[in-house]
Structure 1
Amino acid sequence: MTEGISILILAAGASTRMQENIKQLLPWKNTTLLGNAIEQAQKITDSIVVILGSNAEKIKKVVPKTVKTLKNPNWEQGMGSSISCGAKHVLEMHQDTSGILLMLADQPLIDVEFLNTIISTFRGRKKRIVATDYGEKLGVPAIFDHTLLIELSELKKDFGARHLIIKHKSEAFGVVPDGKEVDIDTQKEYNQLLDLYNT
């Protein structure tokens, strides 16, 4: 376990392009997309918060009882409001946190190895932000120093993590994900990943 790290898993979206499927609950390996993200997070810390929104009650039923869930009442406003919801909880309940790691529920190739690389880079380089390098921009998964928790808690609507990364770009560092960064937005993308990884 990694001391001092809290993980927020953002899983509030409505999956509007998934042919009426609830994306977070789509099968992946021996679990679901969200379940896989939780499993990777549990290999790092016990301080995990899953932010729910659309279909919250259905999704909450499959989240392990040992994992905290929060429903963002303003989830329709965008990712920024979900990050804010989670950051406020961490500020209140986990004041010893040294960093907060943001993950998405729909990046099934993100594994504990990559997350640990982000964390070790964060600690080794003494940067306030270490994020995933998407080439021309940095994004999530990303870890933010505890000194940025208040700014994370003040995010609004769809000003997500990238807004803060750009604001503090001189204090940010990118980690190359080697293809693990792919996210699932459509049923076709999900089916393609299933075929590729034979899950």
Structure 2
Amino acid sequence: MNSQGQRIAAVLLAAGNASRFGTAKQTLPIDGMPMVRRAAMAALDAGLSPVVVVIGAYADTVQPCLAGLPVQLTENPDWASGMGSSLGLGVRTAMAMGAMPHALLVLLADQPGIRAADLKRLVEAHATAPGRIQAAHFDGHLGPPCLFPRAYFDELASLRGPNGARRLLKRYSDRVDRHELPSAAFDIDTPAGHAAWLAHQGAD
């Protein structure tokens, strides 16, 4: 449980085949650590539990990157149908693990700028407005990481195909609290994206 006494789960999406990158970007070293492990550790350091990591296309390659971490791995055999399929599976897995979480935070394996402090910010906002959705705002739109109260679990769990969390953020836009997180804009989808990230780091 977090400091507010609430059990907040995390679903980390790491199942895609990274077609635009050309290889398993989940394993890409970021500051000497596989990108997927970096994301999982941010969730753990933020006090989220359970942390469910959904793997798929590169399961045999991604799984060793998480060795020794107290996360729940679940493999999506239908990963090719889209992110919604992986998110739905991750939510169903989290719901089936012990006590029902009070909320659930969705994050992606390819946002290396996201730190535990960013996730804690969403968790703290949930504590003051438990009925609201909390989402990152960057580049003029809403997206992960985003936190959903329990009331949205069933809808998240039923997701299929390509439509993921952004579908709910759009549908319930009047119930979303926005958090400016410029670091969420850095998603590594292509080698050029990786180069941009490295350039950004070098400029800091």
Q: Tell me, yes or no, whether TM beats 0.5.
A: yes
Question: 2:17 maps to which residue?
Answer: 14
Question: 2:63 maps to which residue?
Answer: 60
TM-score (norm: length of structure 1): 0.92
Is 1:83 the counterpart of 2:87 in the alignment? yes
Question: Deviation at 1:133?
Answer: 1.1
> Match for 1:37 among 36, 39, 59?
39
Q: Which runs of 4+ in 1 moved over 2 A?
A: 125-128, 134-137, 178-181
Amino acid at match of 2:40: I
Residues 114-161 of structure 1, C-alpha deviations (whole Å, 9 max, x = no match): 111111112212343111113543111000001111110101101110
Q: How does 1:177-188 map to 2 (within 5 A)?
A: 177-188=181-192
Q: How does 1:1-199 map to 2 (within 5 A)?
A: 2=2, 3-18=6-21, 20-44=22-46, 45-65=48-68, 66-134=70-138, 136-198=140-202
Aligned CA-pair RMSD: 1.8
* Secondary structure of 1:97's aligned partner: coil
State the number of aligned residues. 198
Amino acid at match of 2:57: S
Residues 56-100 of structure 1, C-alpha deviations (whole Å, 9 max, x = no match): 111112213422111111111111111100111112114331110
TM-score (norm: length of structure 2): 0.90
The structure-2 alpha-carbon separation of the partners of 1:170 and 1:94, relative to structure 1 and needing over 3 Å to count, comes to farther
Does 142-151 or 129-138 show the bigger shift? 129-138
Residues 30-67 of structure 1, C-alpha deviations (whole Å, 9 max, x = no match): 31111110111110234111001101111112213422
2:15 and 2:55 in contact (8 A); partners too: yes
- Taking the aligned partners of 1:34 and 1:25, their CA distance within structure 2 comes to 6
